[in-house]
Structure 1
Amino acid sequence: MTDTPSRAIGRKSISATLKPRELMTDTPLLAGAWTAQIITLFPQAFPGVLGESLTGRALQDGLWQLQTYDLRAHGIGKHRNVDDTPAGGGAGMVLRADVLEAAILEARSAAKGIMPLVYLSPRGRRFDQTMARNWARMDGVTLLCGRFEGVDERVIDHFGITEVSLGDFVLTGGEIAAQAMIDATVRLLPGVLGNADSAVEESHSGGLLEHPQYTKPALWQGRPIPDVLMSGNHAKIAAWRRAMSEQITEHRRPDLWAAYKAKDAT
C-alpha cells in the first residue's frame, strides 16, 4: 500500500482518516452521500463534465461524492510501473495484478454500505437505464477504469468483479465510460433533478424512447408545433405522447420494441 492520498470531492462533514488528503480538496468524506469511487491512471480527468450543470451542483451540495484512486500511486519500482507484457505473448500491455490489488483494497476500505465493484470492459453486460436505477438505489459504486489491453484476469476472478460495457465499441480507457455511467446514475438520486417527473417521462424510463419535444416559437421555419400540444387537453396530450413514443421506438429500436411488447403481453 501507499501513503499517496486519494481525492474526495463534495461538501459537508469531514470524517476521520488515517491518510492525509490533498490540500486542494476541502471536502473529504460525506456521511451517507451516494459515492462514486474511481480507480484510474488519470484521476485528474475527474470530475470532468460531472462537475458541471446539475451533477456539478449536486456534487457541491453533497448529494453525492466522488473519490479517485490513482493506480500509478501503487506502481512498482522507481518508475511506478503499473503494467507488463501479456503472458503468452501478444500486442500491448496488461495492468498488473499486484498493482490492481493494492488500489482496489484501498478503495474498498473506504466503501460503505452496498457498493458493487465494476470493471469497465467492452466484454461486459451493456449498461442501461435499469442498471442506472439499481445503482442509484445503492450506496454507491466502485469503478475500475482499464487501459491498454485490459487487466489481469485473476483480479477479476479474485474480487468477483462485475464487468460492464458502455456499448459495443472499444475506447482507449474506461474514464469516459465511467463519467457517462455516473452521470446517468447521479441524475436519478433524490434532489438532483429540479423536476422529479423528468426522470419518469424520459427515454428508456418505461421501456420506450421519449416522445418529441417542442417549445417557443410556435412557428419556426414554416414548421408549427403540433396542434394537440397547444390544445390544453392533457388527456389528449398524454395519449399523443404515448403514441409517438411507441411509434419512434418501433421504428428506431426494434429490440426495445420487442422487449416492450413482450412485457406488455405478460
Structure 2
Amino acid sequence: MSTAPKSLLTEAVMFFSERGVCKEVLYTEFEALLDGLVATPEFADETIEAVFLQINNRLQVRAAVFFTMDFDMDGYVNRLWNMPLRQLAEKAGRGPDMGGGPIRLACLGFTTSPEYRENMWKPGQRNGRADLALIKEAVNRNALGIIGDDEEAYTPIPAERLRVAAEDAWYDDSRGISESETEPRGESASQPVAAAQTIEDQAQRERDEHLNKIALYTRQILTLQERLKQAENRRLADLDQLRQDHTDHLNLIRGEMIDIKNELASQQKINASLRRELAKAQNRTSID
C-alpha cells in the first residue's frame, strides 16, 4: 500500500494588532526585516506581538512560537533582538489541536527555554475572538500563497472502476480485458481528466504567483541594497569632507598658536630690555 509523501513545512510570521492579524510574511521576508533591508513604518516605535508558524501543505499549523519585537522610530527591527525561532519550535511542547493534530507550542508560561520568556507572549482573546482561531482563519485564507497538496493524487480508485481479467487469461496477452471494458464510457471518463486539468492549472497559477512574488521581493531587495550602497558612499564622502575640514581647522589653529608664541617671545624680549633699562636708570639715580 503506497502512502503520500511527507508534507514540507512552510515557515511564516504573522503580526498582531488590537483587532487581530494585521500582517503576514513568509520567513524569507521576515529575514529581510531582521537584516535591516526593509522597514515596517506602521510598526514604528512600537512593541509588536507576532507568531512564528510552521504550516504544512494542507494548510495546517504544525508549530507556533509567540514572540514580541521592538521597532525603532523608522520602523526597523531593534538590532538587539535575537531569538532562535526555529530552535524554539523544534523544542516546543505539545499544544492544542488546530486541525492537523496537536501542534508544537512555545509561548509565555509554556516554554522549555525560560531565557527567552521576556520576549514572549501568551495567546488569548481580542475583540471576542481567540488568537489561535484568528491564526487558523488567516492560514486557511492562504494570503501567503502556500502551494497545497494535490488531494486527488492520493485518492484510491473506487472498486467499481476496476476491471479484472478472467483467470485463464492472466498469462495470455491475447485474451486480456476487452477494449470495451477498459475504455471509459461517456462523459464519466472526461470528468476526472477535466478535474485534474483544473487542479493542475490552479497549481500552475499559484506557482506563477509565487515566482512573481519572489521576483518582486528580489527586485526590492536589490533596490534597497543599491540605496544602502549609495547611502554608505555618501556617508563616507561626508566623513572624508569632515576629516578634511577638521584637518584644515587644526592647521589654522596651529598657525595661530605659532603666531601667538612668536608674539609672546617678542614681548618677553621687549620686557627684558625694559627691565634692564629701568635697572640702569635706578642705578644712576642712586649714584647721583
TM-score in same-fold range (> 0.5): no
The structure with higher relative contact order (CA 8 Å, sep 6+) is 1
Of the two, which has the highest radius of gyration?
2
* Structure with a larger share of its residues in helix: 2
TM-score for the superposition, normalised by structure 1: 0.22
